[in-house]
């Protein structure tokens, strides 16, 4: 579910963000960066994710049969919807 409607509803209900409600999104969309939204978010390195997936697929195509587990660390982008 998108965090921005929650942020809008908090504003409508006069709930203080972040003093009464801390809120964080997950995709770090361009909307989250807008000054009026100012939504903290989890950011994934999609370029690294895409390259990793492509490399794994090419490995499989070239005969590698062993499964491989890959962890890609997300980062937190702190904006106005979280207290520092």
Write out 13-82 in H/E/C secondary structure: CCCCCCCCCCCEECCCCHHHHCCCCCCEEEECCHHHHHHHHHHHHHHHHCCCCCCCCCCCCCEEECCCCC
Is residue 84 situated within a structural domain?
no
Residue 18 CB partners (closer than 8 Å, separation 6+):
80, 81, 82, 83
Count how many residues are written for the chain.
Answer: 84
Is residue 83 situated within a structural domain?
no
Specify the pTM: 0.67
Write down the pLDDT at residue 35. 76
Is residue 82 situated within a structural domain?
no
What range does the domain containing 21 cover?
A: 3-77
Count of the separate structural domains present in the chain: 1
Q: Mean pLDDT, consecutive 10-residue segments, the chain of 84 residues?
A: 83 91 86 81 91 92 84 91 76
Is residue 69 situated within a structural domain?
yes
Domain of 32, CATH number, reads: 3.40.50.2300
């Amino acid at each position: 579910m998108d965090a921005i409607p929650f942020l809008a509803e908090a504003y409508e209900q006069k709930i203080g963000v972040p003093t009464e409600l801390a809120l964080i999104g997950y995709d770090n969309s361009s909307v989250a960066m807008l000054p009026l939204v100012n939504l903290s978010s989890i950011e994934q390195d999609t370029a690294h994710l895409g390259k990793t997936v492509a490399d794994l697929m090419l490995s499989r195509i070239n005969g590698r049969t062993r499964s491989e587990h890959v962890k890609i660390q997300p980062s937190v982008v702190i904006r106005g919807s979280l207290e520092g």
